[in-house]
Amino acid sequence: MIYKKLIEKRDLLNKNMDLLSKELLENYSINFDVNFAHDSTAIEGNTLTIMETKLLIEDKVSVGSKSLREIYEVVNHNKAWEFVKKNVEDGNDLNEDIVKEIYRILMDNITEGGIYRNGDVLITGAKHTPPNHFIIRFELNDFYKTLKGNDFNELALAAYTHGEFVKIHPFVDGNGRLSRIMMNYQLLKNGFLPISIKANDKNNYYDILEEYSVNNNLNPFIELIYKLEEEQLDFYLKQIKSKIK
């Protein structure tokens, strides 16, 4: 069973992580941060290249010919991700206050953050219609209760967190970016590596989200997370094996 295999790989990695130098781990972490910010914002239409994203996040250098909104989307994404890592390090479980603060950081200088929509929305090209704004609070109450008590394994919980939040679509903008960060919050909290859904795979990714939103079938999303998580684990374990040799 792939879940059991991933647990074994996770535990093996965490047991031997100290074999990798601090400098190497920092390099891998920054590389992920850049790719995650690029992929997650590009899925939503941001046009910054991976190199421009690197300049903003790693080198702290501004880029020209891009709108302020696109620049803020990338910079804010990285700030929100740093906030998440700090909360996980402090042992905090994902809750509504943390979600609202992540959203506020994501929307800084773009729109007012932390305010649930007061109108109905349509998702272009999607079969699923998010719930009426009058029942968002009830949907979210059920969502946060499920986060506290459920029968999901750690990876399935990450899939549910993302899929259900996007299904509710509680904010006017930024739900996708927020839910991908929330997904990784759950992975980190359970000792797994964060994953990045590639922008060039967004059609398949949207189909998977639609399958959950319309048919309540979470399995394709769980399988995607299994696949991406194993790729991340295998990359790190390969580096550890090279150190042992």
| Residue 56: partners with Cβ closer than 8 Å, 6 or more residues away | 48, 62, 63, 71, 74, 75, 78
pLDDT of residue 122: 65
Cα separation, 33 vs 44, whole angstroms = 17
pLDDT of residue 126: 66
pLDDT of residue 1: 82
pLDDT of residue 206: 95
pLDDT of residue 132: 81
Task: Kindly list the structural domains of the chain, giving each domain's residue range(s) and its CATH number in brackets, ordered by start.
Answer: 2-244 (1.10.3290.10)
Q: What is the end-to-end Cα distance of the chain in Å, rounded? A: 29
- Structure-block tokens of residue 238: 């390969």
pLDDT of residue 125: 62
Length of the chain counted residue by residue: 245
Positions of the chain with pLDDT under 70: 113-114, 120-126, 245
